[in-house]
Structure 1
Amino acid sequence: MFRPKLLFTGLAALALGACSPQDQQAVTSAAIAKQVILPTYSRWVEADRQLAASALAFCQGSQPLDAARADFLKAQRAWAELQPLLIGPLAEGNKAWSVQFWPDKKNLVGRQVEQLANAEQPVDAQSLAKASVVVQGLSAYEYILFDSKPEMADAAQKARYCPLLSAIGERQKALAEEILASWNSADGMLAQMTKFPNQRYADSHEAIADVLRAQVTALDTLKKKLGAPMGRLSKGIAQPYQAEAWRSAQSMNSVRASLAAAQTVWVGVDNKGLRGLLPGEQKALADKIDAAYATSMKLLDGNTRTLGDLLGDEAGKQFLNTLYDSLNVVHRLHEGELARALNIQLGFNANDGD
């Protein structure tokens, strides 16, 4: 016998299920993976492919130093954009250190680059992959292009560094391609952030929690990247050589690129970011986080000075303190109120103990 009341009840249950928070989190997880993270990884791969080609061209004499440096800065920016998105294979096994070694408190980069450059047997990409992470990535590449004075070098000195420069380019290209292929594999991160349950996530809530943890860690790291050279971690004594990219004078640009990437995860494409998971009654919190990002981005967009230059006078130091405090607001809102609103237990982050 047809029972319209039962049918209506069943349809209502289906409608409610379609709008359930769990489903919304699945939609958001998939959107962040496809529309934010994967395109950023793809740009990183392209930048590292160009880096590898650039190293060869520079070493063969067909590319000037300025062009080689410009290609490095593109790779460095692509890496900065990726740092708030470090979930999955790149966040495991210290792989991120193979891309960039920071902090370098004892100038290990300079010392180990010189050791390899002076070795009897020139390094190649295969042997470099087995070497210390200190010399595998962008920090060592930056040292060669900006700190070894290649613009004043004779052919013999350039020949000393070029095998390592080319090996780093190839190493970064291979690593980036490997990570992207892993993301796109049948049971890789893209699939794991799209369909639940899977071997990594029991449900979409776990995936969203992973995204937020990466955000919180990255925002905390941004504070450290300012705080260390400012002296906040060394009794107020400025430590300019503890800046992330002091050799290329790009530390402030890297901070901006990382913060912009974090903001993209928050806002999402078509409002399918973490912000869209907050219910209507949490509008005040969403507005508060929007305002915090806007404050930090306005400070960064209005700045034209390098970090080293800013550390050189009181006005610069005051600006850095203001910026640090603004980043702290963004970080604490994610770590505290946003995590609670999304019912996420963060636990320890990757920086704990540093």
Structure 2
Amino acid sequence: MPFLLRSRLRLALLGLALLPALTACPLPGSAQDSNPLPPVVLTEEAISAVMARAVDEVIRPGYRNMHTSATRLADAVSAYCAAPSPDTRAAARAAFDDTVAKWSFIEIVRDGPVLQENRFERILFYPDRKSTGLKQVQALLVRMDEKDTDAATLPGKSVAVQGLGALEYVLYGTGAATMDGAKDSFRCRYGAAVAKNIAATAASLSADWERPDGVQRDWKHPGPDNPAFRDGKEAITALLGILVHGAEAVRDQRIEAFYKGEDGPARPRSAIYWRSGNTWNAIKGNLEGLRTLFSKSGMEELLDPAEASIAGSAEFVIASLTRVVAKIDPDIEKAVSEPSERHKMDFLIVNARDLVLRFSDQYGGAIGLGAGFSFADGD
């Protein structure tokens, strides 16, 4: 039996062992079904209603919450700089954890204003395969140019030195303890500038989504004169794309960035937020964002009642992934070295891929996106 096939077979068996209940949720309308149901015919009104709920009940609140959290983070880091102590340090780190969670929820929406002016990368520069961000932040801290402590100048610099990754290094990286013994140290003031820059970027994103004549109008009302979506099919395709690519990112960019399975080498220091122990908190936030977008937008309502189980099975997989994520050791170096923890990560890889297929192949096919249509990356 070829090596790759053996590896995939082991992963499949592992998924069955960890979560037997998944066998009760077959992929509805699969390619093996010799009598697939005809695709449903969607109305523009039904799609507009789904898009409106996605915007009003998920996306706009998500960016508002991110802005609020980032503002608190900026205040907490500034307070730590002004009066360094165990309490103010703990408050700054707790605020960082909260902002990571709030951003992870809404970062799945990799569409719209966040793609303009590099705003996504200005909040989170990741993956950073060549450690560009680390090198630039370390060089900045050695150089100690006072201009780098001014939040107004950061947007003109490399995105690698102005987001959550840079701030994590300031608060948790090598030399972070030096901030405890010096009021208004350069390192801390740079961190405060980064936090203010994140808050400003979050504020601009929230403002863009709050304008009634801007992107929210375009998303809610597809039409021939709409610059975003010419019809409902384009709109619902984009919304589904958020789910598909969000699930792919959990697997490819969050888990397989540092762990590719039992037969592959582990690279724990490539994991997102490994210094602060927020790797799994971030993945949990991603999954919560996917679950909330799918459920609160009412995408299930676009399915034919005979295929409603597609929605339930997708939500079941998300819940299962979330439950396992919560049980993995937050110390990534320990997680990749312990067999029991590696088994949990194997489960995540298998079932994150399953989630992609449920959204792309099953839901997409059921709402009539067309024969052979798929968002999946095919690996």
Query: What TM-score do you get using the length of structure 2 for normalisation?
Result: 0.80
1:237 and 2:265 equivalent? Answer: yes
Structure 2 CA distance, aligned partners of 1:127 and 1:344? 46
Paired residues, number: 330
Is the 8 Å Cα contact of residues 29 and 194 (structure 1) preserved in structure 2?
A: yes
Is the 8 Å Cα contact of residues 82 and 184 (structure 2) preserved in structure 1?
A: no
Give SS of 1:179's match.
helix
The answer to which of 133-142 and 293-302 deviates more is 293-302
1:288 and 2:313 equivalent? Answer: yes
Give SS of 1:126's match.
coil
Question: What is the CA distance between 1:170 and its match in structure 2?
Answer: 1.4
Is the 8 Å Cα contact of residues 109 and 143 (structure 1) preserved in structure 2?
A: no
Please list every run of 5 or more consecutive structure 1 residues that lacks an aligned counterpart in the other structure.
Answer: 1-18
Give SS of 1:200's match.
coil
1:174 and 2:200 equivalent? Answer: yes
2:217 is aligned with what amino acid? A
Question: What is the CA distance between 1:235 and its match in structure 2?
Answer: 6.9
| 1:116-166: CA deviation from partner (whole Å, max 9, x where unpaired) | 223253111122111111111000000010013433446459612123212
1:140 and 2:166 equivalent? Answer: yes
Give the equivalent residue in structure 2 for 1:52: 74
Give the equivalent residue in structure 2 for 1:32: 54
Query: What TM-score do you get using the length of structure 1 for normalisation?
Result: 0.86
Structure 1 CA distance, aligned partners of 2:259 and 2:236? 33
1:320 and 2:345 equivalent? Answer: yes
Structure 2 CA distance, aligned partners of 1:235 and 1:132? 36
Give SS of 2:156's match.
coil
- Closer/same/farther in 2, CA of residues 262 and 212 from structure 1, 3 Å limit: same
| 1:156-207: CA deviation from partner (whole Å, max 9, x where unpaired) | 5961212321211111111111111111224322212223322212223322
Question: What is the CA distance between 1:103 and its match in structure 2?
Answer: 1.5
Residue pairs, 1:184-223, within 5 angstroms:
184-197=210-223, 198-223=226-251
2:68 is aligned with what amino acid? E
Using the aligned pairs only, state the percent identity.
23
235, 239, 247: which one aligns with 2:275 = 247
Greater relative CO, 1 or 2 (CA 8 Å, sep 6+): 2
Structure 1 CA distance, aligned partners of 2:184 and 2:141? 10
Is the 8 Å Cα contact of residues 264 and 273 (structure 1) preserved in structure 2?
A: no
65, 78, 82: which one aligns with 1:43 = 65
Give the equivalent residue in structure 2 for 1:14: none
Question: What is the CA distance between 1:304 and its match in structure 2?
Answer: 5.2
Please list every run of 5 or more consecutive structure 2 residues that lacks an aligned counterpart in the other structure.
Answer: 1-40
- Closer/same/farther in 2, CA of residues 20 and 324 from structure 1, 3 Å limit: closer
Is the 8 Å Cα contact of residues 29 and 204 (structure 1) preserved in structure 2?
A: no
Question: What is the CA distance between 1:262 and its match in structure 2?
Answer: 0.1
1:110 and 2:139 equivalent? Answer: no
Is the 8 Å Cα contact of residues 44 and 176 (structure 1) preserved in structure 2?
A: yes
1:119 and 2:143 equivalent? Answer: yes
The answer to which of 186-195 and 318-327 deviates more is 186-195
Is the 8 Å Cα contact of residues 252 and 306 (structure 1) preserved in structure 2?
A: no
